Amino acid sequence: MRTAPHSSSPRSAFLLISPTWIVLGLLFLAPLAIMCWLSFQQRGLYGGIEPGPTLANYVRSFESSYAVIYARSVWIAVATTVICLVVSYPVAYYIALKARPERKNFLLALVVIPFWTSFLVRTYAWMFILRDQGVINSLLMSLGVIHEPLPLLYTPLAVMIGQVYAEVPFMVLPIYASLEKLDRSLLEAARDLGASAAAAFWRVTAPLAMPGTVAGIVLVFIPSLGTFITPDLLGGAKGMLVGNLIQNQFGPALNKPFGSAVALVLTAFVLASLWAYAAWARRRGEELAL
């Protein structure tokens, strides 16, 4: 390996990453440690804490009454991720490979523009679109298509719509980045060797854009699994997800130890899924090499 002429000493390397360590340490590692400690304590009166240690919070988090919430959360997160993938791939493909170069930045800006408005405001906007007297229902009623307003708001569908809308940019951008790097001559080579446009996509484009696709899936799946604003505003009382469960424990339910335990179980589940995926991908890579 070649050494850069001004290779950084260990000290300057440390200085370079120290801001990251400070931010991560104060805002991520320290709260995580506190939650870890909390999860083994007992609930006190009025949101206080009685010293533990106890495993009761973890035992309770696996009770069957919570299973339906977990299942609903996983189902909505998976559906959101799949819909985001289906919606985002063509957009990313078009911007990366089909759009004229001078228009790319404009199209990417369109993808990012929703971030200029607060997430909360955008979610409220969906309430106005989806409610009984909202844009969709009043339009359909005035056209005579329906006579009763469709129940759109406070349904799992509403949560999914809001969630997909919020997460699509996080799927588009990494897939775009992967496709943009793709060497076009590889696609010509595939065509030259007899592959149709579709075959060239499945055998060359899709596998080479896999890193960006996986990044998009992770970036959408994880926040969707833990979301609480979207189900809170669009999902109604019956649509509680694990994010709301945790939020409730830290808020109205005044049970921080139990909330911490659920949050850590959720974290463990996410890490386990990522690890399982990585193991599967590695095994598949090895199979291909044989």
Partner 1 sequence: MNDVILRLGAVEKHFGATAAVNGVTLEIARGEFFALLGPSGCGKTTLLRLIAGFEQPDAGRVVLDGADVAGVPANERPVNTVFQHYALFPHLIVAENVAFGLRYGKPKIENPKSSIEEILKLVRMEGLGARKPDQLSGGQKQRVALARALILHPKVLLLDEPLAALDVKLRKEMQVELKALQRRVGITFIFVTHDQEEALTLADRVAVMNLGKVEQVGTTEEVFERPRTKFVADFMGAVNFFDGFVVRPEKMRLHAAATPGAVEGKVESKVYQGETTRWLVRAADGKLLTAVEQNDGVSDAVSRLKSGDPVWVKWNKRHEVPMEEGRHA
By the criterion CB under 8 A, which residues form the site for partner 1? 183, 185-186, 188-196, 199, 203-204, 207-208, 288-290
Distance of alpha carbon 129 from alpha carbon 114, whole angstroms: 16
Least distance (Å) from partner 1 to the CB of residue 286? Answer: 12
Select 237 or 289, whichever has its Cβ closest to partner 1.
289
Task: Cis check for the bond before 90: say yes or no (omega within 30 of 0).
Answer: no
Select 150 or 215, whichever has its Cβ closest to partner 1.
215
The structure tokens 């469960």 sit at 245
Distance of alpha carbon 82 from alpha carbon 242, whole angstroms: 20
Distance of alpha carbon 271 from alpha carbon 36, whole angstroms: 16
Select 166 or 187, whichever has its Cβ closest to partner 1.
187
Q: Read off the tokens for 288.
A: 């291909």
Least distance (Å) from partner 1 to the CB of residue 210? Answer: 8
Select 199 or 268, whichever has its Cβ closest to partner 1.
199
Distance of alpha carbon 249 from alpha carbon 49, whole angstroms: 13
Least distance (Å) from partner 1 to the CB of residue 197? Answer: 8
Least distance (Å) from partner 1 to the CB of residue 229? Answer: 39
Select 34 or 278, whichever has its Cβ closest to partner 1.
278
CB atoms within 10 A of CB 21: 11
Least distance (Å) from partner 1 to the CB of residue 248? Answer: 46
Least distance (Å) from partner 1 to the CB of residue 84? Answer: 24
**DSSP state at residue 49:** E
Select 103 or 284, whichever has its Cβ closest to partner 1.
284
Dihedral (CA of 7, 10, 15, 17) sign: positive
Select 252 or 285, whichever has its Cβ closest to partner 1.
285
In our burial notation (b when 16+ CB lie closer than 10 A, e otherwise), range 106-126 reads: ebbeebeeeeeeeeeeebeeb
Least distance (Å) from partner 1 to the CB of residue 195? Answer: 6
In our burial notation (b when 16+ CB lie closer than 10 A, e otherwise), range 184-221 reads: eeebeebeeeebeeeebbeebbeebbeebbbbbbbbbb
